[in-house]
Amino acid sequence: MDRFTPERHWVGWHRQYDVAGSSLHRRLALVQRRIRQALDSQPAGEIRVLSMCAGQGRDLLGVLADHARRDDVRARLVELDPELAADAEHAARSAGLDGVEVVVGDASDSGVYEGVTPVNLALVCGVFGNLSDVDVRHTVEQLPRLCRPTATVIWTRHRRSPDLTPAVRSWFADAGFEQVGFDVEDGFLIGVGTHRLVGPPLPYRPDIRLFDFVGDGDDAHR
């Protein structure tokens, strides 16, 4: 595969997670802290999780590896790039996470989540920075179709001017979510939002196009 193809771009993009002090390395730490908190708060029983555009699955898999609730988690990680999905599959199997399923598919297609929804935890990390504003809002509005009552959604978005994150947070409120936290880090444009569904969930539909992925991820490196 040519190194300039979009697929190779995203494989190279993920290497920044391994660079200590990089924006992605710091963002990952913030996201993982919120994932741990969400898992810790779940009642006894199965915990259903979905991850959109999961990449190598570092956020969730890195937490589950040593988490007390690891065996309660049934997760579906959806990633379009087969090489990144293979990395996630290998990591999940190496960690003995039998409840984690990695799917090579289009995360914008609501049908790809059939069978795992409604979830207790939805990860929408590395997504909103690569969508149009209209699609960000549309995706937020549709998340209650994928969630069960009191589900947690963790999302990321850069804060480059014009900063969309205040609007995103208001869209979550309009969709029936309350904010649990919004994490930033000095010197970086990182934004990590955590919201809990307090309104009624919506009926699941497998025929919804959530978004069109249009970005190249560069803002996540700022």
Give all strands (DSSP E) within the chain, no chain letters. 47-51, 73-79, 100-104, 119-124, 147-156, 177-183, 192-197
How many structural domains does the chain have? Answer: 1
The CA distance from 128 to 59, in Å, is 16
Task: Residue 83: give the domain boundaries.
Answer: 6-221
Instruction: Tell me if 184 sits within 8 A of 191, measured CB to CB.
Output: yes
The CA distance from 218 to 205, in Å, is 32
- Residue type, position 129, single letter: G
26, part of any domain: yes
Q: What is the pTM of this model?
A: 0.91
- Residue type, position 56, single letter: Q
Strands 192-197 and 147-156: antiparallel
The CA distance from 222 to 218, in Å, is 7
Residue 99: alpha-carbon gap to chain centroid: 17
3-state secondary structure of 214: coil
Q: What is the pLDDT along the chain (222 residues), one digit of tens a residue?
A: 333 455 555 455 556 565 667 888 999 999 999 999 999 999 999 999 999 999 999 999 999 999 999 999 999 999 999 999 999 999 999 999 999 999 999 999 999 999 999 999 999 999 999 999 999 999 999 999 999 999 999 999 999 999 999 999 999 999 999 999 999 999 999 999 999 999 999 999 999 999 999 865 455 444
Neighbours of 60 (CB within 10 A): 29
The CA distance from 44 to 24, in Å, is 32
Give the model's pLDDT for residue 22. 81
192, part of any domain: yes
The DSSP letter of residue 1 is: -
1, part of any domain: no
Task: Report residue 65 as tokens.
Answer: 């590896």
Give the model's pLDDT for residue 212. 96
Q: Which residue has the tokens 């710091």?
A: 26
3-state secondary structure of 76: strand
CATH number at residue 28: 3.40.50.150
Give the model's pLDDT for residue 13. 52
Neighbours of 54 (CB within 10 A): 28
The CA distance from 183 to 138, in Å, is 23
The DSSP letter of residue 43 is: P
Give the model's pLDDT for residue 17. 63
Neighbours of 25 (CB within 10 A): 13
Q: Which residue has the tokens 């069978």?
A: 115
Sheet holding 177-183, edge to edge: 100-104, 73-79, 47-51, 119-124, 147-156, 192-197, 177-183
